[in-house]
Amino acid sequence: MMYNQTNTKICVNKKQLSILCNENIYTYLKMVYPNSNLIRSVDLNFLYNCAPNDLKQIYSPLIDPEKTTNYSPVNLYDTWRPIWYPENCYTVNLYPPKNWMNFEYLNKYGDNSVIEGLHTRDDNPYYTVWGFWVYATKGTGVFYNLGKTLKAYNKIDSLYLLGVSIPDIAAFLMDKNYFYNPDKPQLKILDLAKEKFPDSTNIDSMIRLVEYIIKKNDIYDYDRINNTADVDNMIVFLAKSKNYDSVQLQVQANGMGGWCFEVIFTNVNVLSKYNELTWPSWPQIENRMTVNDPNNELAPIKCRPNIVDDSVIVSCKQQNLCKLSNPNPYYK
pLDDT tens per residue across span 223-232: 667 767 788 8
Mean pLDDT of the chain: 80
Point out the least confidently predicted range of 8-12, 209-213, 281-285: 8-12
* Residue extents of the structural domains in the chain: 160-228
Determine the pLDDT at residue 162: 97
HSE-CB for 263 with a 13 A CA cutoff: 32
User: What is the arithmetic mean of pLDDT over 78-106?
Assistant: 82
CA distances from 159 to 224, 237, 239, 270 (A): 15, 11, 9, 19
- Between strands 289-293 and 132-136, the pairing is unpaired
Determine the pLDDT at residue 202: 92
Point out the least confidently predicted range of 90-94, 162-166, 249-253, 300-304: 300-304
pLDDT tens per residue across span 241-271: 999 999 999 988 776 667 889 999 999 988 7
pTM, whole model, 2 decimals? 0.88
Most confident residue range from 51-65, 114-128, 130-144, 269-283: 130-144
Most confident residue range from 52-56, 208-212, 318-322: 208-212
User: What is the arithmetic mean of pLDDT over 79-98?
Assistant: 83
Band (125; pLDDT cuts 50, 70, 90):
low
Band (12; pLDDT cuts 50, 70, 90):
low
The more confidently predicted of residues 270 and 292 is: 270
φ/ψ of 209, rounded to 5, equals -70, -45
User: What is the arithmetic mean of pLDDT over 287-315?
Assistant: 75
Band (329; pLDDT cuts 50, 70, 90):
very low
Most confident residue range from 63-77, 260-274, 281-295, 304-318: 260-274
Alpha-carbon distance 143 to 199, whole Å? 48
User: What is the arithmetic mean of pLDDT over 67-90?
Assistant: 78
User: What is the arithmetic mean of pLDDT over 292-310?
Assistant: 71
Tell me the residue type at 4: N
- DSSP letter string, 251-268: EEE-TTSSEEEEEEE-SS
- Asked if the model's pLDDT at residue 148 lies above 90, the reply is yes
Determine the pLDDT at residue 54: 83
The more confidently predicted of residues 87 and 204 is: 204
From the CA atom positions of the chain, what is the Rg in Å? 20
